[in-house]
Structure 1
Amino acid sequence: MCNTYNEFGRRIASLRKEKGYTQEKISSMLNVTPQAISKWEQGNALPDTLLLPLLSKLLNVSIDYLLTGESSVGKAGPYDGEYQKEAFYWGIQPSELAEQIVDILQGDTANKRLLDVGSGEGRDAIYFAKCGFQVDALEISTPGIEKIKQYSQLSGYSVNILHADMIGYEMSEDYDVLYSHGSLQFLPLEQRRKHFDKYKQRTKLGGLNAHLIFVEKPFVKMAPDWEKNEFFYQSGDLARYYHDWEILRCEESIIDCNSAGVPHRHAVNRIIARKINATRDGF
């Protein structure tokens, strides 16, 4: 146990110094005493678990990395090979779902906070930034992150990049819009409810959640680039997750796709829902 404390302390001290923070600066941002920071770094104590999300954000690492020294960041993402190519795999035009969100808000986007879960190469994240949102782009793929940076420079619009795995990612603040487009099939089946509850909890009153997911249909063949760690949803899953919200749009459709260079189809479900009460969903 002492060895674990010592390793944690060394990581904290190293990350703090890399950021150019003093113990006093960190203590002020965490609302603890400088003596507490010193105890952590000396391996004499661990911070309260409630402080870990904020501490990880301040040091720009995942909670997993803080605790174990290991992180999912840097591991191969499912589209790494495609993102390493010069062309943008998903293109740079915004999705229909992203445009629908902007249309619903009718220009009331300035300074609203938006989290794009599984941003890919950033096509929707940059579009939201163009529309006035303060965007956090959550993405695990290192080549994907580089593409987001590249597109950001080309467009002249910036987003805050969160280089992390969406699975288990702990949000430390609330958002006006929480968005995903074709990424949530990577959530393990047993973790879906937990993640949707967390997304709902971290949405401000009156805020929106918008998702596009892949739905299993017996008449639609599995895509040629479908991964072993991707899991279909069933019709009605999204509506059930948001049964206590105002559902603004919820529809299923069959779309054409040419990913992997092979024409195929997907059955998808899109939802846009608004939080209408202040209950702490799922908690």
Structure 2
Amino acid sequence: MELRQLDYFVAVAEEGSFTKGARRVRVAQSAVSATVQKLERELGVPLFAREAGGVALTDAGTALLPEARALLSAERRARDTVDQVRGGLRGTVRMGTLVMIGVRPASRGLLVVDLPQVLGRFHVTHPLVRFQLRTARRGSAGHLSALLAGDLDLALVGTVDRPDGIRLHRLGGVRLSLVCPRRHRLADASSVSLADLADETWVDFPRLWGNRAMTDRAFAAAGVPRAVPFEAADQDTVLGLVRNGLGVALLPRAGVDDEEVAVVDVDDGDLELPVSIALPSDREPSAATAALLTSILRAAGRPVSRHR
């Protein structure tokens, strides 16, 4: 069994198809298929059930996946350790990012931390460190699962929950406000309550996203029903739907710069989303990961504690 075989196996398993898995590891699909088939022959069991719409893990594949992830993670840590001896900070940092938390164009304001600026300065200081950035296709919940599985080293998350096995370093919080069309009945209000929003049609982010989970929880706690027929995975689409009168939304005030919508404070409900850097608590970060964490904490004006 070779690490390359496990790498291809994990990529196919996580992407759900040989095509997407091959794209992720930047190898021809035929080579990925042949390598996985060789691994299956060596193990004597099929790891995937090949289906028309993609692949699904067999029982053997499901059992192998966490072990394969652990071996690949150990291999990366071993390489990083040797790299430190060779001089200079080296290694690869796999980081999850969020589409709605971070830096906006100048007119839209800074929300929590200017991550591109942090990474740019870090690269100047530590040019031998490589980054792999992944967006949150399944929101913060997806990043937390990837951290626990050993598929990410750290992640920027917006979450009100902290699963077992995760350590959170809070960077700040983002307060959500009501965003509605200018012609909406509440557009000129100084503030609103959750009860005022009982009959609204909502545009929101997918269910696994931290801000959606927080919003659903706030309305449930207030006993206010909420219909969410529109979901979007980026803020510009949410704003477009609101602007065209299809619903209202809850968004960070600093992220909205649109003359066709109004932004109104919500004076009740717990609607401040904690934004944090998450790391797995059951393993020590590499030297490169620890250094990047320190840079992010300093940029956000947060205390830097011992995190190795």
**TM-score greater than 0.5 by the shorter chain:** no
- Shorter-normalised TM range: 0.3 to 0.5
Structure with greater Cα Rg = 2
What is the TM-score of this pair, normalised by structure 2?
A: 0.32
